[in-house]
Structure 1
């Protein structure tokens, strides 16, 4: 006969509690996990204080005027894998965030809480040194609370229930400095504070914005200064170009829905002022999908592995909102910081929803980019034009006369005889711009073509070609480089006119097409420049 023995095998306290410090939390994400608990406890005010004393010891306190906890509630909250909240829509999800988020950065976590109708708060503490010493899951409970935490609790929740989360023995926030209270350490801590301020402003935007009726209002302060909501979509200035609400049936027969909206922000020069443009944080790393669970941002901004970030999509930001019913479908992780899309949803996004907004954002960006190149690049070819004018006679070349200005037909006389060609015949767009003329587009996407500009043999250069963008634009302010590039293009066109015959005219056209195509391929891996910076 076989026997079955049931053995209770609790994990080693020190190894587990220390091991759970390495769950991969970023500081901002960890703090947000604690603020989630405040909001779940119906707080209307949350205050955060991040500071270091004269010895460089860092303390973080997060206080709220939420429901607070009695003895049993406090013990449950401090238990790893605490009991689920009755409200499934709560921002807290797994019962681990408070502990794992905190001990990812500190070795002593205390929670001081006062329940409704109670005058006396209680303090519960996980001290990792104590756990290691006694080798037990030993939670310390006391009515002798931290004085500073009590003062903050009384300020935030005067004669009211509330909670303070306190981090002490913070060892993983900033690196060790020779002088832990000196200037470099203070600067590093200040940088953490500013990054945290923006993270909170973005994550809890719908709670912080009094004009956003999707969620109740919560006031949040960091080091005595109110955190103001940051809207990644800048809805008052951007354009909503696509939206959809999708309803789906869950395995248990219930229905749930998610909403998706795509916004295109104005280009920097289209914002009403510099302050508005700065507030929008127009940068390549801000494009992508922003994912909200229960009106709280949990992930943003990227394309969830579906696309790479591209400079021409800087202005495209997509809002994806769902509620707790879809947690399992979206594989929400323990930190509530990312989701994994199932194949059906990823395919729908790539094939049905995102292509049109991406095309439109790309079109607007390139159109705006061309305006910027034209505006900022004015005069960039003047030195080249002057140089060629002074050496036009020495360079030589064929005689080219206009046969029919209406059809663009010209007569070319070179050493091989006389040939009638179709040429672009035009006037100068700027004074003196008669040898090298930048133009916005050439038929068939050619990089360059010969032309007659006010009777002079000239080259037109296509500013929409990727070679111009990636090679010319970074050098618009470099006179010698511009003269070298322009002289080469002009020389190619004059050489074509000097050797062309009726039987070779089509061959020269094909050659220009092939050169343009090859150059387009060769510059594919070159970095696309920031037009505003490079042509300023």
Structure 2
């Protein structure tokens, strides 16, 4: 310990951390493979890279991950400073496009996945190399970094042909290899999908900025746009700019299209992201265009089916880090108190807009179905469903019964309606909307029931044109126009 100048009645002592113990502790901050790679990519983008390549070797005995960029590279002194844990203070003013925060990311992200980190960097044809090896640090109990004069023999270094930097992870002991190479590759595939979402705004041209190319083992990553701006039916609301905590915040809400506005199932699932529409609603917080938090209402509202189409983009700069409580992982944040009331009101307004999208669709379905088997009734704030006793087939069957049998039949219909599994339907509509399918009649049943319905509608005074129009929108005949046409012709010929 070294004594420092102090007040005469007290003293200061420098208490140096135990290198071996602390460097092992730094491995457990909470990174996943996805968040660790994203932190490394942050450094590449800050260095003005336009090409980022990730190379993966999955052989358990010789596994490695390399992240190569064509950024500005570093000098030897800059490299050594970058290898220092805590190389920059979070209170230090940064360049407006800087994606860093605590000066820890390169080290902690790497240590969370591997025991040996090597950085090869090139600037103006000068190559500098430095490595952290946790086994060496623990053995010597000292903060020692290995440097080399050349990159000869270092994996992936041959890909660094011009200015740029290679981050090499070796001694991979936390990447799932204990369960085999396929498990490791699965984790890497998940990480690639994570990058496609987190950096989607960098992967495409935006406001005069050139697109950055990302690839993993030669496969080009494709940006995932959570706001479906590519779809004509997406509702884009006006941007709102506010100054909070000394930083400018830009907020723009989006309402995604209803399912009936989306042509294909593939497009619909694409809009739902990996978790589906229900779990993908909420705020999407970007710091310098990099996604920090997504699909959250920040505990100000629950994720509800009627707001599942609502997503809100929030843009902040790195000057707002303290106000938003951005953490080391750049995966957690909380809105400043001065903004929370505004965001609550915004959520309430979006709920109304999203509800109108569904209500408009619901009203259309109700209007289009002139022969509902299930009768929807709304009284005050209560909505109920009952089997429609006036449905032609139901009414015709009831007419064949005795009074006692008809009363018993009515009791059965009411029992079925009372047993409607509302909670299960609500859950499935929220979680598995696109997977719900109605039971279908086979063609024999469809034709037999169709003939009876046509006869009944004719007896009620409807013409064939009206009957065809009604049956085209009434389950289970909807979508079977050819069968309806044939039945109408057959029944007419039989008269």
TM range (shorter): 0.7 to 0.9
Structure 1 residues 372 and 195 mapped into 2: Cα distance closer, same or farther (>3 Å)?
Answer: farther
Map of 1:213 onto structure 2? 207
Q: Which runs of 4+ in 1 moved over 4 A?
A: 366-375, 448-452, 454-458, 485-489, 519-526
- Tell me, yes or no, if the aligned pair for 1:242 and 1:263 is still in contact at 8 Å: yes
Q: 1:462-481, aligned counterparts within 5 Å?
A: none
**Residue pairs, 1:66-465, within 5 angstroms:** 66-83=71-88, 87-115=95-123, 117-119=124-126, 121-145=127-151, 146-154=153-161, 160-174=162-176, 176-177=178-179, 180=180, 185-186=181-182, 188-210=183-205, 212-213=206-207, 215-237=209-231, 238-240=233-235, 242-248=237-243, 250=245, 255-281=246-272, 283=276, 284-350=278-344, 352-365=345-358, 368=361, 429=371, 437-444=373-380, 445-447=382-384, 453=390
Q: May I ask how many residue pairs the two structures share in their alignment?
A: 409
2: CA distance, partners of 1:520 / 1:323: 51
Please, which runs of 5 or more residues in structure 1 have no aligned partner? 155-159, 379-427, 431-436, 459-484, 494-514
Match of 2:38 among 32, 46, 51: 32
1:288 is displaced (CA, Å) by: 1.3
TM-score, with length taken from structure 1: 0.69
In 2, are the aligned partners of 1:369 and 1:531 still within 8 Å (CA)? no
Q: What's the CA shift for 1:370?
A: 7.8
Given that residues 376 and 385 in structure 2 are in contact (C-alpha distance below 8 angstroms), is that contact kept between their aligned partners in structure 1? Answer: no
SS for the counterpart of 1:354 is helix
Compared with structure 1, are the counterparts of its residues 256 and 486 closer, same or farther at alpha carbon in structure 2 (3 Å cutoff)?
farther
Counterpart residue number, 2:23: 17
Report the CA distance between 1:215 and its aligned residue.
3.7
| Aligned partner of residue 253 in structure 2, secondary structure | strand
In the TM superposition, what is the alpha-carbon distance from 1:34 to its structure 2 partner?
Answer: 0.5
Q: Normalising by the residue count of structure 2, what TM-score does the alignment of the two structures yield?
A: 0.74
Q: RMSD in angstroms over aligned alpha carbons?
A: 3.3
List alignment gaps of at least 5 residues for structure 2: 1-6, 396-407, 439-495
Distance 2:237 2:23 in 1: 47
**Separation in structure 2 between the aligned mates of residue 246 and residue 303 of structure 1, nearest angstrom:** 19
Partner of 2:465: none
SS of match in other structure, 1:220: strand
- Change in Cα spacing, 1:16 to 1:99, as seen in structure 2 (3 Å) is same
Take 1:89 and 1:315, find their aligned partners in 2: how far apart are those partners?
31
